[in-house]
Amino acid sequence: MRRSSPAMSGEGDEEEAAALVESAEPPQTSVSSGVASIMVGLVFLALLIGFSRWINLDDNSFILGNISSINTGRPRNHSLSNYTTPFTCSNGTSTTCSGTAAPPPWRWPAAASTTPSCPDYFRYIHDDLQPWRGAGITRDVMERARKYAYFRLVVVGGHAYVETYQTAFQMRDVFTQWGILQLMRRYPGRVPDLDIMFACDDPGQVRAAEFAAPSDAPPVFRYCKDKSTLDIVFPDWSFWGWPEVGIRPWTPMLAEIERENKRVPWLQREPLAFWKGNPDRYRIRHDMMKCNVSNGKEWNARLFNQDWGKARQNGLKDSSIPKQCLYRYKIYIEGNAWSVSEKYILACNSPVLFVVTPFQDIMSRGLVAGKHYWPIDRNRICESIKFAVDWGNQHPVEAQLIGEQGSRFAREEMSMDYIYDYMLHLLTEYAKLLRYKPTIPEKAVEICTHSLACPADDQHRPCMMDSMERRAADSDPCTLPPAFTTAQAKEMADKEEELLRNIQKREKEHAARP
């Protein structure tokens, strides 16, 4: 199970870790939906008033007025049953799965009332699967995905099988498979028979332009895509932990960040923008490093280099993400693609200065500019950061709202409960498109929770133990909302553009001032 890190295929991995090392924050619990939407409304109103006072008193459209009304995702409590799937490493057979029976399907409550709608980012499940929507996915098309894939994962009759094609950096593949196994524990009997090809490298690779018809494109699951690629977005491995860089699974990370947020209230934080990461190899990060105060001009940014080699030598003591919620503003910037740091940065209760990026991951697609983050112009990063910080320090109420809304999104809409619901919906919708019955590939081996966890070493096992699903859900997942209509999508894009333009204009005026 152990893999050495450096021999990676030129991937931008550690860099992500780098970006990673930034942030995170804490949260409160959900309120019942009616109250929640009223509160969101009030918050919005406050934001609107704040912004319009600053911008242009008549210009209400500035702050994305209605986008919030599209949001149907309300935090709900996902309750768990008493049904548990056994786990033990004591038995000598525990490193293989042979002989394990599929868990009996949990009996779902008969009168399951319709569950609340899932958050809006679930709508992109439809977009991701759109290419195969009429023609379906034939075995032939599916197998053409092999050249991109690191592994193939097949579920047949409640058992999971993996055929490995290439070694992924660190344990990305294993933790991804682990995540799917935990999904099967949380929703026993619910994960349908399926056959997926999974790629563990960073940017999307399935270029739409290379295929005459979209349904000719091979379906490739991975963590990230952009507009020009057809990869299917899946939660990245770090939700179950990234032990090589000291990152625990998402749920305990959130709890730690929450404690830090309580410890250092926003107004007591440094009134500056913070980033820590690895700038090497990425031009945009390199550009951003010029905004550091050490370069002779005050752009309100404090940027730090993360040297992973050194950090490991001292046991990652200075790299604790929860300890990085000490600045009023946190910068998020892409690396080789999306950065795993995103969710920790967002969770910090400090407004995120989000350097606008073409990369889409499960989380970024749910974020609304002006509500969850402050967009930073990727072509004028220093000026843009300077203005955002000056503005926020002059409008602390509004700035805190953005920080809180971003954090609330991270802890409520991106909670593990929803991550599992997302995975279940995505895999279920995907399985419906298969035009053949999945069978176990000859070279595949069965995987199960104990076959991964029992042989894991001391570095990896704790993350697995901390992220193991012990009890089955006792209700249905949230209800999958439809795709955004073309009109809704256009409206959101237009509003975002308008916000960017408005901010740009203010930035230039601000910069021109002596």
Question: Residues interacting with ligand NAG, by CB under 6 A?
Answer: 29-30, 32, 65-66, 69, 77, 81-82, 90-91, 93, 99, 289, 292-294, 302-305
Q: Are 450 and 88 in contact (CB under 8 A)?
A: yes
Nearest distance in Å: CB 93, ligand NAG: 5
Beta carbon of residue 500, minimum distance to ligand NAG (angstroms, whole number) = 18
Nearer to ligand NAG, 198 or 327 (CB): 327
Closer Cβ to ligand NAG, 4 or 90, answer by number:
90
Strand runs labelled E in 34-186: 80-84, 151-156, 159-164
For residue 227, CA distances in Å to 12, 128, 231 come to 20, 11, 10
Burial class (CB within 10 angstroms; exposed 0-12, middle 13-18, buried 19+) of 205:
middle
Residue with smaller CB distance to ligand NAG, 1 or 293: 293
Identity of the residue, 300 or 364, whose beta carbon is nearer to ligand NAG in the bound complex: 300
Q: Which is nearer to ligand NAG, 205 or 320 (CB)?
A: 320
Smallest Cα–Cα separation from 478: which of 123, 66, 24, 149?
A: 123
Cα–chain center distance at 78: 19
Closest distance of CB 338 from ligand NAG, Å: 22
- Cβ closer to ligand NAG: 87 or 165? 87
Residues 374, 392: Cα–Cα separation, whole Å = 10
Smallest gap, in angstroms, from Cβ of residue 474 to ligand NAG? Answer: 6
The H-or-E segment that residue 431 falls in is: helix 416-433
Question: Nearest approach, Cβ of 54 to ligand NAG (angstroms)?
Answer: 20
User: How many Å separate Cα 467 from the centre of its chain?
Assistant: 16
Which of 77, 379 has the CB closer to ligand NAG? 77
431: left (phi over 0), alpha (psi -120 to 50) or beta: alpha
- In 3-state terms the chain splits into helix, strand, coil percentages (rounded to 5) of 45, 15, 40
Neighbours of 390 (CB within 10 A): 14
Determine the Cα–Cα distance for residues 312 and 306; give it in Å rounded to an integer. Answer: 11
Going by the DSSP 8-state scheme, the letter that residue 119 receives in this structure is: P
Min dist CB 123 to ligand NAG, Å, is 18
DSSP summary character for residue 479: B
Q: How far apart are CA 34 and CA 122, in angstroms?
A: 21
* Other C-beta atoms lying within 10 Å of the C-beta of residue 107: 11
Burial level of 289, CB count in 10 A (0-12/13-18/19+)?
middle
Shortest Cβ 37–ligand NAG spacing (Å):
12
Q: Minimum distance from CB of 88 to ligand NAG (Å)?
A: 6
Three-state secondary structure call for residue 35: helix
Residue placing its CB nearer to ligand NAG in the complex, 120 or 201: 120
Instruction: Provide, rounded to whole angstroms, the least separation between the CB of residue 358 and ligand NAG.
Output: 25
Q: Please, what is the minimum distance in Å from the beta carbon of residue 91 to ligand NAG?
A: 4
Q: Which is nearer to ligand NAG, 192 or 455 (CB)?
A: 455
Pick the closer one to ligand NAG by CB: 91 or 95.
Answer: 91
How far apart (Å, rounded) are the C-alpha atoms in residues 487 and 353?
28
Alpha-carbon Rg of the chain, whole angstroms?
23
Tell me the two tokens of residue 47.
């934001």
Question: Among residues 19, 10, 9, which one has the least CA distance to residue 335?
Answer: 19
Looking at the Cβ atoms of 130 and 292, the one nearer to ligand NAG is 292
Place of tokens 């910069």: 511
Q: What are phi and psi of 322, to 5 degrees?
A: -60, -25
Smallest gap from Cβ 302 to ligand NAG, in A, equals 6
- Nearer CB in complex with ligand NAG: 80/135: 80
Strands (E) across 209-316 are located at 221-222, 232-233, 270-277, 301-305
CB of 198 to ligand NAG, least distance (A): 29
CB of 47 to ligand NAG, least distance (A): 15
Residue number with CB closer to ligand NAG (260 or 417): 417
Return d(Cα 158, Cα 103) in angstroms, integer: 7
